[in-house]
A and B are shown apart, each in its own frame.
Chain A
Amino acid sequence: MMLKKIENMTQAEDAMLAASTTLGSDKERAAAADTLRAHGLPTRRIEAWHYTDLRNQLKAFPENTQSASKKQAEEWLAKCSEFLPAFRLAFLNGAYVEGPAEVLPAGLTLQTGMSNGGYRDATDAVALINTMLAADGVNISIDADAAISEPVELLHGVIGDSASACRHSIALGAGASANFIERHISENGQSAFSNTVTELSLEKGANARWIIVQEEGEQTNHLGQLNVTLGQDAQLEILVMNAGGQLVRREINVVVNGSNSDLSIRGVNLIGDGSHIDVTTSLFHEAPDTISNEIFRNVATGNGKGVFQGEIRVAKDAQKTDARMACNTLLLSDEAEYSAKPELEIFADDVQCAHGATVTDILDDHLFYLRARGLSERDARALLVKAFVEEVFDEVEEDDLRDNLNARIENWLDNHG
């Protein structure tokens, strides 16, 4: 079949297609490239991209991605800071980096390398690009009833003006438990691109925490997607921190298809000058008696722009669903913007769904109260902003994890205050 072609491809589209071609011409990759040629990247005319016009906002894509040499990779890995003590799997410029030999946690098996791509359609741009560009990743499976105590870290980095794309697949067997840290780092000044798609499945009674920490440089564009299926009695807590990047789209798609499952998503978006951070979540409640709780707190400074799109769909059979969603934003400058779009589609008749979005400035009452007690205006503002965002992580029980996330928030606020 001949596909129609977009007349004028953007630099980013052309560069992505060229990069895809150099990776080989397997069928799936080639089909994805054809889809891009036919439709281009989505624009604001596509509803899911209304607030993030990917085609027009993705101004650049690296044309000369270099694969890191072994020496470069070793040097990079050696200077990567630790988030928390973890079993680390590192990816640099989209390729797995052999780390120091570590003993695999008992009950965990893994295989690095290419896994199958896939995307919904041309509007599923994050996965489409990933299918074109990913050449490495990791498949992890965790045995039924295995409890992996040490967190598993997936560390993604880019050096130079390069692109990185990875695809991961992680499966927790029935009753298994594990914690994961998905990190993304790069430096200011790099014109970089980073893209990951992760499939995560939790079987019956499995329990997991997935932490996404994105601290990329100010000229790194980031497109990430996490696709989850949640089985019966499964529990998943997703913590998100976006504290960097230029154009950032973070998608979280969860299909809740087992009854009595419990999903929590808590996130902080710290949006600096020149940054556009879009968090788009879709939760499909397909089974009865499930809970989802989603909260994002956002801070935008300078001309930073933020977007939250939160879709909740409750299927006809998903009775007694309890779904809550909140998105609260503090705008710290007149040029900062935030758009929040909740989207509820409810086909069951006995459910509780709540959503709320607020956009505010720091309250004068609060500021005056603190100043009247002796805090300088700057300190008072910093304390209020910190309190506003850190509340999201109040319920994280582990002190070291909560302190670590909060320290990163404080560090960002110090640098952007």
Chain B
Amino acid sequence: MTVNLKKLPDHKYVMPGNAACPGCPETMGMRYLKMAYGDNFVMVIPAGCSSVIQGIWPKNGINAPVLNIVFAAAASAASGMKAAFDMLGKKDVQVVVWAGDGGTGDIGFQALSGAAERDEDIVYICVDNEAYMNTGIQRSSLTPYGAWTTTTWTGKKEHKKNIPLIMIAHGAKYVATATVGYPTDFIEKLQRAAKIRGFKYIHLLAPCPVGWRFDPAKTGEIGQLAVKTGLFPLFEYAEGKFQLSPLSRRYKDPAKRVPITEYLKLQGRFRHLLNKPEEIKKIEEYIDSVWYMIDVLEKAFNPQAEAQKLLRTL
């Protein structure tokens, strides 16, 4: 199931002239969402950048039906909307929550956790730009270690909260990570999620030029570097099976990973870390811990494959 760019119609996937900053990863992500689902989806958007980039009434920058809702109710509003669609007999309509990292990990977490526990048939997309960018770059629980924000101006001292693992622990039917740097991978994951009934969670890494302090032309490049350095492994967990995405599989070997400084030096928010080797070592240790978790998950969710691998070595 590959994406053929030539066959995709030349629609307006996002309306040009919206209020997003130049090089915005969120409008990129919204375009891929429409490429994957066509006209068959409804978006539920809690407060955040995505509710601002729609622009000024009576025009709307997003080419999809949108329900704007408060932070703490995104997943529950989507659950109700899905129930209404079921009553109307429209079973093939996807209800998509498009929330930022604050709306997912901090303020909207109780609604997300509740919807995952009830196994509502919705797609929850966390657009992770790693801080509260809309209100002026404040720290969120998904800001990585060492990153500058306006509330952690000497660098954050805690590591990032791992929401995809929390969603796997909730027993969600589909959990995946994606980045705007690899659009076809994200579109394929969205299409695969549409075929599964139950709670679907996709974590989309969205490098923000304004908050991460880099050149807007490099949005895609930084998304790709996050995967190449091993900091953000792309994986897919579907109905009890865990597997690394093909794009991330080669970075399981630490020798093949791009040095983390390549990723850090492009971003102004990590500028103070570059001449501190002990801080960079801490980020490298974090990457190792991320891959240790991936290894544990692979073994835990594919016991048969592991047993076969053992038999082959004997």
Q: Do A and B come from one complex?
A: no
